[in-house]
Amino acid sequence: MPIEIHGRQYRTVAERLSEFRAKYPVTDGWAIITDVRTPDADTVIARCEILTNGTVVATGHAHERWETGKAINATSAYEVAETSACGRALAFFGLSTDEEIASADEVSRAQAEQDAEYDRQVKHMACVRDNWTTIDAIKTALATDDYSAAKEAWNELSRDEKMILWRAPTKGGVFTTKEREDLRK
């Protein structure tokens, strides 16, 4: 049964797989083959192929990262990548009553990550607002190369505040890349 997300219908990988196995049994020469690799310590790449009598008829790929910020990927990035690749291959094969290639599983995970990122940004902005005097003192000290004053102001912040504020400028962080480098001195 499709799941509605933002007005669109998505099916889970489990539903697509169940439909595939019912319509295309192994005894008739159908197979699903996965290949999951870890090209480096942080990355998982998965490929899924759907075959009939040894001929590839559809493929799907997925990429995940071992990240502690995403609970499922902290322990199961390998499995998440494999499942996503299978869901995509099954959709490319045509097992999808909806019009979407992404599965309900993928869309739900992406939405959860977007929600978490929004929450992190809101916390950051609130922390900037609540600590603007200290942040301004840090920025002023760094602008005049007074690293000891910058460190002293930085150390006025709690550990949690430092973690919230230590956000890359590309992610909306209050400190520039150079300021972050100077704070490390």
Tens digit of each residue's pLDDT, the chain (185 residues): 656 666 666 677 888 888 899 999 999 999 999 999 988 888 899 999 999 999 999 999 998 888 755 566 677 888 888 988 998 899 888 876 555 566 656 666 666 666 777 788 888 888 989 999 999 999 999 999 999 999 999 999 999 999 889 987 777 788 999 999 998 88
139 and 52 assigned to the same domain: no
Single pTM value for the model: 0.55
89 and 137 assigned to the same domain: no
CA-to-CA distance for 25 and 9, rounded, in angstroms?
A: 26
66 and 19 assigned to the same domain: yes
3-state class (DSSP) for residue 138? helix
- Segments of the chain assigned E as strands: 3-5, 8-10, 30-40, 43-52, 55-65
Boundary (domain end) residue, out of 115, 139, 165: 115
Does residue 122 lie in a domain region?
no
Does residue 121 lie in a domain region?
no
100 and 144 assigned to the same domain: no
Which structural domain, as residue segments, surrounds residue 103?
3-115
CA-to-CA distance for 37 and 59, rounded, in angstroms?
A: 16
Structural domains in the chain (count)? 2
